[in-house]
Chain A
């Protein structure tokens, strides 16, 4: 009788052991991209960098279909696709979700990996950058500008040479999935793989080999799927290399290298002593230098006068009635924080080790783009408008932070407890609010049906910092206002380029 218990219980034990085999997917599953439109008119879109790309790039015209060279490529594709392994199919499907989307994910993964504050006193290592939000905003902007400029040029070549998909010349190719009638030379996947690999290697030098492997696999996967030949890929690589070179040149001269301030020169530069009665100070142990005090001198993507015109008015003076009301508001939230307020604070925190608030908005954009099955070139364009707006929003926000040098709420009232880490730089205006409102405004333009949702999201992202106990609500509101205005500047620039 007692043995029965033993069997039953052992059985349950074994089931429990089996149950723990479940696993979570590492990369998000996305559908294979079959764009609603090939966006042939993108050949007329404006590139971001005003360069004579056509003269910089030299690719051979696409070989005619009946040439032995191209016939060889086609038979190579027949062989490859007929011998395709399950692993190759899996990889080809992974990349086919969208070259732009996948490389955006990779950029986020790297930002998360490098978003670790160096130890206090540790010298900055250019090989191992600290991918904080301002760094990340710039990284995403550089990547999407490179992807956009590369893809616009690719579209120009595609429609100039008008080579059809390999399968339309060779029926024996075992296609892995259906593709659109977008001309195939140069391969837009090879272009994005190459340009992204190089820009990201510039930003994260230690990842060079990893990125090389990814790009190689990505480019090869187009052959495994039977959708691009060798010359499609090689031409794509060439376009990618040239554009990456130009974007990296831009990055080298955008003054980001001067944004750090190990000697506290910003105290003089911003005349802090005469600016505020109680200046911001670091409230961490041990003391740490504030984050990129000179981010505001980095080159903006949009007209800098227009960007700086959005600078908010000074915050309420410390000790004024208005200020006291506001700090009481924060204190009250902290003393009575609801579970939902905590959830919101954590949901939008995007702190150390994550892809940062700009990364969070890239994920939101990715979802919208993927849902609507937009072409690679349109996806790149949307990311580019959004990420440039976010970087400019960051620059403006950092300008305001150091110009006004307002302490965080906990520095004024040490009983203010937090639900998220206190960022180590001044309070006014909120970076989260500015980043989020600019991104939400840009996305509302491209996805008008989502306008209300997006507004709710950027407002929640902004107030989340007040719920977290690390911002006054006026930081949030002023940041939001500046962010919306910068989003509008970005949209205005995108408009004449026939892009809705």
Chain B
């Protein structure tokens, strides 16, 4: 089924370094179907934004972050899916002496429900879905340092998605989300407010036979927070960005239920985040427990 292939593409966005929630899509898994994906990505930047100003730091050089994510979607019913994601992330600088970091980062769990669905026959299928997610750090990774893999903030997020599938296999999706971050107690011994953020993402894509492609644009806008600066705790930074990218997916010809994916992402602009370029690839496997 075409939808199955498409569904898996979201795994590629799942662990885009930190400061971004899990981006959902508008496709639903059927009751009892489980899809799992293992994705790998590498991203790097030598330029980052202090506030909105581009900066480089020769005492850090290029910062490279690799992640491996396990991603699982399961159909509880045809209208309610659970989505789980767990990334393992490593980050290191190419210059200077700062210690590299690596650990499991944040475990995310989403409930995604289809609220409305209508088939317009000749003009395609329209759906409205909502997602409610929670993520929590599952290791004691370092949060307040120039090289870190996350902010240690627990997060609740809510997303609304509209999607329209055209009969010939094309689809467009738009979603808006609100990400609420909880305060973090940093190693310096006090609590820091981690700014909340809005997230807007649009995607357009389609598939022919067993091949799929999409392009996306994602904009996160943080609420009031700090800028990167001397003595300023990193988790309190207001992180915003505009990113774009594409994904490709294909099933494998001889192995049943297995597919491969690849993608790239680019940072167009940002605030208090690296101007990172990302390459990713993944393996996708589908399992039906109720058949």
What residues make up the interface of A, taking CB atoms closer than 8 Å to B?
2, 5-6, 9, 12-13, 16-17, 19-20, 22-24, 112, 115-117, 283-286, 334, 337, 339, 342-343, 346-347, 349, 351-354, 410, 414, 416-419, 422, 469
Asked if residues A417 and B231 are in contact (CB atoms below 8 Å), the reply is: no
Could you say which residues of chain A place their CB within 8 Å of the CB of B178?
13, 16-17
| Interface of chain B residues 229 through 284 with chain A (CB within 8 A) | 229-232
> Whole-angstrom distance between the alpha carbons of A12 and B183 in the complex?
19
Shortest CB-to-CB span from B154 to chain A, Å, is 12
> Whole-angstrom distance between the alpha carbons of A266 and B188 in the complex?
35
Could you say which residues of chain B place their CB within 8 Å of the CB of A410?
97
> Whole-angstrom distance between the alpha carbons of A115 and B191 in the complex?
21
What residues make up the interface of B, taking CB atoms closer than 8 Å to A?
58-59, 95-100, 113, 115-116, 130, 132, 140, 142, 144-145, 156, 158, 178, 180, 183, 186-189, 191-193, 196, 223, 229-232
Shortest CB-to-CB span from A319 to chain B, Å, is 22
Could you say which residues of chain B place their CB within 8 Å of the CB of A347?
187-189
Known: A23-B193, A24-B193, A285-B95. A342 touches B187 (CB 8 A): yes
Could you say which residues of chain A place their CB within 8 Å of the CB of B230?
115-117, 351-353
Shortest CB-to-CB span from A459 to chain B, Å, is 17
> Whole-angstrom distance between the alpha carbons of A438 and B118 in the complex?
75
> Whole-angstrom distance between the alpha carbons of A419 and B58 in the complex?
18
Shortest CB-to-CB span from B188 to chain A, Å, is 6
Q: Contact partner of B97 among A12, A20, A116, A416, CB < 8 A?
A: A416
> Whole-angstrom distance between the alpha carbons of A17 and B116 in the complex?
24
> Whole-angstrom distance between the alpha carbons of A85 and B192 in the complex?
32
Asked if residues A334 and B99 are in contact (CB atoms below 8 Å), the reply is: yes
Known: A16-B180, A347-B189. A284 touches B59 (CB 8 A): yes
Could you say which residues of chain A place their CB within 8 Å of the CB of B188?
346-347, 349
Closest 4 CB pairs of A and B: A353-B231, A353-B230, A352-B230, A346-B187
> Whole-angstrom distance between the alpha carbons of A13 and B96 in the complex?
44
Shortest CB-to-CB span from B85 to chain A, Å, is 20
- 30 residue pairs bridging A and B, Cβ less than 8 Å apart: A5-B115, A6-B115, A9-B113, A9-B132, A13-B158, A13-B178, A16-B178, A19-B180, A20-B180, A20-B196, A20-B223, A22-B193, A24-B191, A24-B192, A24-B193, A115-B230, A115-B231, A284-B59, A285-B58, A286-B58, A342-B142, A346-B145, A346-B187, A353-B230, A414-B97, A416-B97, A417-B100, A418-B99, A419-B145, A469-B99
Asked if residues B158 and A16 are in contact (CB atoms below 8 Å), the reply is: yes
> Whole-angstrom distance between the alpha carbons of A19 and B100 in the complex?
35
Could you say which residues of chain A place their CB within 8 Å of the CB of B193?
22-24
> Whole-angstrom distance between the alpha carbons of A418 and B95 in the complex?
12
> Whole-angstrom distance between the alpha carbons of A22 and B224 in the complex?
12
> Whole-angstrom distance between the alpha carbons of A337 and B145 in the complex?
15
> Whole-angstrom distance between the alpha carbons of A349 and B189 in the complex?
11
Q: Tell me if A's interface is mostly helix, strand, loop or mixed.
A: loop
Q: Name the residue among B59, B180, B230 with the largest chain A CB count within 10 angstroms.
A: B230
Apart from A24-B193, A334-B99, A419-B145, what are 5 other A-B pairs with CB-CB below 8 Å?
A5-B130, A9-B132, A16-B158, A117-B230, A352-B230
> Whole-angstrom distance between the alpha carbons of A17 and B156 in the complex?
11
> Whole-angstrom distance between the alpha carbons of A173 and B44 in the complex?
67
Could you say which residues of chain B place their CB within 8 Å of the CB of A6?
115, 130
> Whole-angstrom distance between the alpha carbons of A2 and B129 in the complex?
11
Known: A20-B180, A353-B230. A346 touches B100 (CB 8 A): no
Q: Name the residue among A334, A417, A418 with the largest chain B CB count within 10 angstroms.
A: A417
Could you say which residues of chain A place their CB within 8 Å of the CB of B156?
16
B93's nearest neighbour on chain A, judged by CB, is: A417
> Whole-angstrom distance between the alpha carbons of A5 and B140 in the complex?
36
> Whole-angstrom distance between the alpha carbons of A416 and B99 in the complex?
9
A470's nearest neighbour on chain B, judged by CB, is: B97
Asked if residues A2 and B116 are in contact (CB atoms below 8 Å), the reply is: yes
Asked if residues A417 and B99 are in contact (CB atoms below 8 Å), the reply is: yes
A20's nearest neighbour on chain B, judged by CB, is: B196
A351's nearest neighbour on chain B, judged by CB, is: B231
Could you say which residues of chain B place their CB within 8 Å of the CB of A349?
188
> Whole-angstrom distance between the alpha carbons of A284 and B99 in the complex?
16
> Whole-angstrom distance between the alpha carbons of A334 and B196 in the complex?
34
Shortest CB-to-CB span from B97 to chain A, Å, is 5
Asked if residues A2 and B196 are in contact (CB atoms below 8 Å), the reply is: no
Q: Name the residue among A337, A342, A354 with the largest chain B CB count within 10 angstroms.
A: A342
